[in-house]
Amino acid sequence: MTIMLNVVRSSWCLTRRLATSGASTARKQHSSSTDSNAPIELEQNPFAKDKVQCVLCKHGISPDYKNVQLLSQFQSPYTGRVYGRHITGLCKRRHEQVEREIMKAQNAGFMPTYHKAVEFLNDPKLFDPEKAVRPHKY
Enumerate residues 6+ apart whose C-beta is below 8 A from 102: 65, 71, 74, 75, 82, 111
User: Candidates 12-20, 46-54, 68-76, 108-116 — which segment interacts with Zn ion by CB under 5 A?
Assistant: 46-54
Q: Which residues, 56 to 85, sit near Zn ion by CB under 5 A?
A: 57
Distance in angstroms (rounded) separating the CA atoms of residues 135 and 130: 9
Q: Does 126 bind Zn ion (CB under 5 A)?
A: no
User: Which span sits near Zn ion by CB under 5 A: 11-19, 55-63, 69-77, 100-108?
Assistant: 55-63
Name residues contacting Zn ion, limited to 4-43 (CB under 5 A): none
Which residue in the set 94, 105, 111, 116 belongs to the binding site for Zn ion (CB under 5 A)?
A: 94
**54 belongs to the binding site for Zn ion (CB under 5 A):** yes
When asked if residue 117 is in the footprint of Zn ion (CB under 5 A), the reply is no
Cβ distance to Zn ion smaller for residue 57 or 126 = 57
> Considering just the CA atoms, what is the radius of gyration of the chain in Å?
29
List the beta bridge partners of residue 75. 82
Q: Is 80 left (phi over 0), alpha (psi -120 to 50) or beta?
A: left
**45-51 long-range contacts, Cβ below 8 Å, gap at least 24?**
none
Stretch that binds Zn ion, among 32-40, 71-79, 86-94, 95-103 (CB under 5 A): 86-94
Binding of residue 91 to Zn ion (CB under 5 A): yes
Smallest gap, in angstroms, from Cβ of residue 92 to Zn ion?
A: 8
Do residues 14 and 5 lie in contact, with contact meaning Cβ atoms separated by under 8 Å?
A: yes
User: Residues interacting with Zn ion, by CB under 5 A?
Assistant: 54, 57, 91, 94
